Structure 1
């Protein structure tokens, strides 16, 4: 396999994240050629400035990590993030609405965030570990109809993260109409490769450098 770097969203979302850590994250993203960085909203201006002129996207999160803020707040977060320089947004849906059968409400929320994003790529986090299979499939359709660009497995803050089975399920339901992002608990090349093989076109991880180094060692690049 060619380099996995273009699949990786180089991520740092811990609450104790510092500006120096964001600077290091952006430097690594440029050095290794990752698809994007995914940083806390407060650090979007810094990341966008550091990545200006590169091909690395500046990503952030919306309604993160629980998704239960009002839709208007998510839309506001989205518009502010884009104004600050974000070009990719990972939004968390309202799981309570999903589990109560209010899928039209969830679809409408996705649509409002997409509209507020003004052309920025929106990845919709559905938190697979909390959902039965039929709802996972139904949510793919909500993402498609709502205008999202990706369906994403997990926040990484819930009881479970990405699984090969979930990625394969989402990719099968998406049928190429939208991308699939695997995230949560992907910490090595073996895990990353399994997600890509299952159909993920993006992989969110805080272990991007380790994954690239393991891939290089495996292929004898070093």
Structure 2
């Protein structure tokens, strides 16, 4: 397939965002992350402290405004700041998807900028729900939102939460996103990536990070 197991593991955010997740589940996630050799773990804000307590463990990422994005910008910013104070080094925030679909680019720009200002030293990934944007406005809308995220200081654009009924990552979305920001920002493909073949397709399309809950299955598929 052109990628080794280690190469793919090195770009995985091993993810646990289920509402019912417990601290015991986070400990299990960290144990599995160490075994798999992944780059980072991604958890909900209340779980950051538990995840960050492991010396020499993976990078800890937290979400903000997750999963709906329907939070006031100040709340997203405060949530991100708390997560970083607790030990997160990366933040995956969700935009106001409704504002994006309505073409309210300034609204999206302002909320991304608010979170950027609150966590100036953290890696900021912005979840745009690409499936919805492609459905509502096609590739031009997705491209415009990616440009807005870049303007506001994002480090990555990210396809999906994995919770929206419109779907998760797609090759088409990753290609569009990478075409707009590739070489300057990272592109994180997330949502519905459960096999090695799908993961490779995302990487070939331009993804530089993968958000996976099925990390072991994906990596086992690489041999």
TM-score scaled by structure 1? 0.94
Alignment of 1:72-91 (within 5 A): 72-91=74-93
Which of 116, 121, 131 is equivalent to 1:119?
121
CA contact (8 A) 1:79 1:118 kept: no
1:98 is matched with 100
Q: Offset at 1:215? A: 1.0
Aligned pairs, number:
214
1:220 is matched with none
CA contact (8 A) 2:10 2:37 kept: yes
CA contact (8 A) 1:189 1:212 kept: yes
1:204 is matched with 211
The DSSP-based 3-state class of the residue aligned with 2:168 is coil
In the alignment, the residues of structure 2 paired with residue 37 and residue 175 of structure 1 have an alpha-carbon distance, to the nearest angstrom, of 23
Structure 1 unmatched runs, 5+: 217-222
1:173 is matched with 180
Q: Offset at 1:118? A: 2.8
1:25 aligns with 2:32: no
In the alignment, the residues of structure 2 paired with residue 135 and residue 40 of structure 1 have an alpha-carbon distance, to the nearest angstrom, of 29
1:136 aligns with 2:138: no
TM-score scaled by structure 2? 0.93
Which of 151, 171, 176 is equivalent to 1:145?
151
The DSSP-based 3-state class of the residue aligned with 1:167 is helix
In the alignment, the residues of structure 1 paired with residue 184 and residue 142 of structure 2 have an alpha-carbon distance, to the nearest angstrom, of 16
The DSSP-based 3-state class of the residue aligned with 2:197 is helix
Which of 28, 35, 41 is equivalent to 1:37?
41
